[in-house]
Structure 1
Amino acid sequence: MKKLLLLLFAPLLILSACSKKDATPVDPAKQAAADETAIKAYIAADTSIHATRDPSGLYYQILKQGTGAHPKATSNVTVNYTGKLLNGSVFQTSSINNTPLQGLIPGWIIGIPYTNVGGRILLIIPSGLGYGPYPPDSTIPPNSVLVFTIDLIGFQ
């Protein structure tokens, strides 16, 4: 019986393991243009968003000004955050504690230094600065624009 179950599930495991690696990435320039269009439409639809575009393509808005210094890309950060997709579905609400900013997605590395301790920032991250065609799990579709609300608790 165990061998039969193994034979039935082995192909499924192999296919699921290969699916991420075998995904065909979209042309980065076309994806960046599609992301830019989607982000502009998202911002236009929500009159409370007054985001600034960073040269990288990241959009950010300081929602609450904190006090003190700004972290650097080389800092370890402690934050509370909520991540969602452009359709409004939340894929994660969590905290990270004393984590190297360099180990996080590029959108965070670029965006978090715009705020300071006690501040809250909105990041609208094009897929190329997020997870691109290879998201970490099935809650985030490939090539998704990500929207994060981040509270910077502290940094070292």
Structure 2
Amino acid sequence: MVKFKYFILMICLIGCLAACKKNEPVDDYDPTPQFKADTAAISAFVKTNNIQATKDASGIFYQILEPGAGSVTYQASTKITSNYEGKLLNGTVFDTTNGTPISFILGNVIVGWQIGIQKIQKGGKIRLIIPSYYAYGTRSPSSLVPANSILDFTITLTDVQ
């Protein structure tokens, strides 16, 4: 009986070790070249269209149109309500609230919003020009937004909770 227990233990141990696999990256995509191309495209877009935008340390370009009022310290769980319009750099509108505010949890939106929204308070309005890395990256969320798209949002923050 003791030999049988050792036999079963040995089989389990071998099975566990056989199932182990090296941590191999699922995707060896290097976002750096795309990020550099996006930054160059945004810089040219801002200059050509005479947009008074500031480049954040992250690489997101923003223009505060109205700062809003308040002193909210944003967390991933902060609920924001906003009117917005999202466009591609060629001017194609891919999403809009059409004046009907929509609520989101800040931690559930694209990283570009998570960075940019924190620059304004309730009642504020901001324009964010977001490199694809901070938007949808190599994914295409819809037929209107190709992979590696730079996004141009104008956002009015109507409420913060």
| Gapped regions of structure 1 (runs ≥ 5) | 1-23
* Alpha-carbon separation, structure 2, partners of 1:110 and 1:123: 10
Q: In structure 2, which of residues 56, 61, 82 is the aligned counterpart of residue 59 of structure 1?
A: 61
Q: How far apart are residue 154 of structure 1 and its match?
A: 0.8
> Secondary structure of 1:137's match?
coil
Q: How far apart are residue 69 of structure 1 and its match?
A: 2.4
Show the counterpart of 2:126: 121
Show the counterpart of 1:33: 36
Q: How far apart are residue 96 of structure 1 and its match?
A: 1.9
Q: In structure 2, which of residues 136, 153, 156 is the aligned counterpart of residue 151 of structure 1?
A: 156
RMSD value over aligned CA atoms? Answer: 1.6
Structure of larger gyration radius: 2
Q: How far apart are residue 60 of structure 1 and its match?
A: 0.8
Q: In structure 2, which of residues 98, 105, 113 is the aligned counterpart of residue 100 of structure 1?
A: 105
* Alpha-carbon separation, structure 1, partners of 2:152 and 2:138: 17
Scaled by the length of structure 1, what TM-score is found?
A: 0.79
Superposed structure 1 runs of 4+ greater than 2 Å apart: 24-27
* Alpha-carbon separation, structure 2, partners of 1:81 and 1:25: 34
Number of corresponding residues: 131
| Gapped regions of structure 2 (runs ≥ 5) | 1-26
Relative distance call for 1:26 and 1:73 in structure 2 (3 A) is: same
Scaled by the length of structure 2, what TM-score is found?
A: 0.77
Q: In structure 2, which of residues 41, 45, 48 is the aligned counterpart of residue 45 of structure 1?
A: 48
